[in-house]
Structure 1
Amino acid sequence: MKLTITLLATLFVSVVTFAEVSVSEKNALIKLYSSTNGNQWITKWNITTQVSSWHGVRVVNDKVVSVNLSSNNLTGVLPNEISDLVNLKSLNLFQNNISGQLPASIGNLKSLESLNIAFNKLSGSIPNELCQATSLKSLELFMNNLSGSIPNNISKLKKLELLSLYNNLISGEITSELYKLTSLKVLQLNSNKLSGNLSNEIANLTLLENLSLFDNNFNGQVPFDLEKLTNLKEMNISYNNFNGFVSSKLAKKDILNMTMVNEFGVASVLKIEVDKNKAIVSEE
């Protein structure tokens, strides 16, 4: 009897000592490895060893909570099975050669707080399903070939503090849903093909510290309500088709002093005119 108890105790200790992540999580990582040509990675995985020993994978309490494979020569596409990493809080695939579309299944990652797939070769539109990942605080997809419009349900990302989509091919107008992201501190949409007016609702983003809309096709009046963003430390809305007047205070906040492009593609610095206590900027 004592021998049986001893053997069971030993077996229990062994199981605890060598506990692994779930089969579905391990298989999802292996699928990621094969879909992105793991044999060509700079730092490869030995998939015969424990997952916790794999490069860039962080395991806590037998759950995969973080994957960081930045600058590791991932080439290929992201598999739909990535959504099986149900405990993932951070996914960093920055600066690789990942192509294809962003899997809509990423929206199933309800614990995901940080997603960085910037500086890759992603194409297609940003799936609306991504906005179901409602724990996201940071979303970085800049320097890709993404097209289409900003998801019209982006307001679901109520915790989002950083949205960086610059240097893509995103077009259309800024959806009014974006102005509901009142937790935003950084909004970088520069160097896309965005158009239309910038709404006065921009004033809703009271925590905004960095606003970059540089090099798009925005037009109309620059909203005076931008002045209400008292936390704004850095702004660049130049190289658009904005017109009309802005205050001297607002003009000074812009890195390029409100340099706009006219209908003929000619860039000109907006002139600041001071009239008594009021300062305005007008096109020369």
Structure 2
Amino acid sequence: MKNLFTFVLTVLTSLTMMADVSFSDKAVLLKLYKATNGDNWTTKWDLSSPVSTWYGIKLEGDKVVSISLADNNLVGEIPSEIVNLVNLQELNLHKNGISGVIPSSLDNLKELKVLDLSFNKLSGAIPVSICEMDNLRNLELYMNRLSGELPAQIGKLQNLETLALFNNEIEGQIPNSLYEAKALKILLLNSNKLNGELSADISNLKSLENLSLFENNMEGQVPFGLEKLNNLKEMNISYNMFSGLISKKLAVLDTLNMTMLNNDGAVVLMDVSLDIERPLVSED
């Protein structure tokens, strides 16, 4: 019986060792390893071992479905071949030293649900192709050097729940299509160079729980429709140039109580009216 058990265990172990990733997927992983200085990663890959044993890699069958290499000292650029991993569901390279641009043909990654390239040194614009990633739920690109405008069709991401782009150099106005992304729960666009007005259509984002537009160049009236967002628990839209009147409810919800900048760049502390019938905030 002992010999039979040993034989079965040996066979199972052999089958496990034989089960490996497809040649094409492995080629992409090797390209990523080389392009991001894999020999100096915090946790390296043993290239002589099966891909299934490589740190941060998850397989389903012979296909790569997840790459999770956060805080692992990746330095270099993301190879364009990464978009050939068509079964990929998660790409998490958070907090590394990755530079260069985001690969342009991301629409090849139809199965991707999580794209986290935050806290790196990426530059350039957010690729328009990202709007074709229908299954995307989390898009986190914060703490980079991204510039240009938000893709006009970003609202096509109907399954998107988290959009975190803060601390970049993104400019222009918020695309109207963004207010059509009705699954959004977290929208963090603070510390960029956004301008223009906040559309009243933001009231369409019924699932929104956290809104941050802090430290941009936005102006105009704060939409009263924000009050209709019953799930909104956190908000910070201060240090913009919003003006006019705002409800007391929203003033209290804002982390900095609607602290704005006027046309001269001076800080304006908005007063909250104590009038219960007219719970408004103004600059007067």
Does the alignment reach a TM-score above 0.5? yes
Answer yes or no: is 1:20 the counterpart of 2:20. Answer: yes
Report the 3-state secondary structure (helix = DSSP H, G, I; strand = E; otherwise coil) of the residue aligned with 1:104.
Answer: coil
RMSD between aligned residues: 1.8
**Structure 1 residue 15, shift from structure 2 partner:** 6.6
Separation in structure 1 between the aligned mates of residue 253 and residue 153 of structure 2, nearest angstrom = 30
- Structure 2 unpaired stretches of 5+: 1-10
Work out the CA distance in 1 between the residues paired with 2:32 and 2:185.
32
Deviation at 1:105, TM superposition (A): 2.1
State how 1:79-118 maps to structure 2 within 5 Å: 79-118=79-118
Structure-1 residue corresponding to 2:225: 225
CA deviations on 1:124-145 (whole Å, 9 max, x unpaired) are 0001011221110000000000
Task: Identify the residue that residue 203 of structure 1 maps to in structure 2.
Answer: 203
**Does the 8 Å contact 2:207/2:231 carry over to 1?**
yes
CA distance in structure 1 between the partners assigned to 2:177 and 2:257 by the alignment: 28
Residue 236 of structure 2: aligned partner:
236
Q: TM-score, normalised by structure 2?
A: 0.93
Q: Letter of the 1:209 partner, please give it.
A: E
Between the aligned partners of 1:73 and 1:16, the Cα distance in structure 2 is 30
Give the C-alpha shift of residue 62 in structure 1.
2.1
Alpha-carbon displacement from aligned partner over 1:84-104 (angstroms, at most 9, x marks no partner)? 211111111000000000001
Q: For 2:245 and 2:133, locate their aligned partners in 1 and report how far apart those are by CA, in whole Å.
A: 40
In 2, distance between residues paired with 1:29 and 1:16?
20
Contact 1:142 1:164 in 2 (8 A): yes
Deviating 4+ runs (over 3 angstroms): 13-17
Deviation per CA, 1:136-168, whole angstroms, max 9, x where unpaired?
A: 000000000000011111122110000000000
Q: Deviations over 1:55-95 (max 9, x none)?
A: 11111222211111111111110011101211111111000
TM-score normalised by the chain length of structure 1: 0.93
Match of 1:7 in 2: none
Q: Secondary structure at the match of 2:39?
A: helix
| Separation in 1, partners of 2:89, 2:282 | 47
**Structure 1, gaps ≥5 residues long:** 1-10
Query: Given residue 181 of structure 1, which amino acid in structure 2 is its aligned partner?
Result: A
SS at match of 2:194: strand
Task: Give the length in aligned residue pairs.
Answer: 275
Aligned-partner residue type, residue 244 of structure 1 = G
Is 1:136 matched with 2:136?
Answer: yes
In 2, the alpha carbon distance for the partners of 1:153 and 1:52 equals 37
Q: Distance in 2 between matches of 1:187 and 1:120?
A: 20
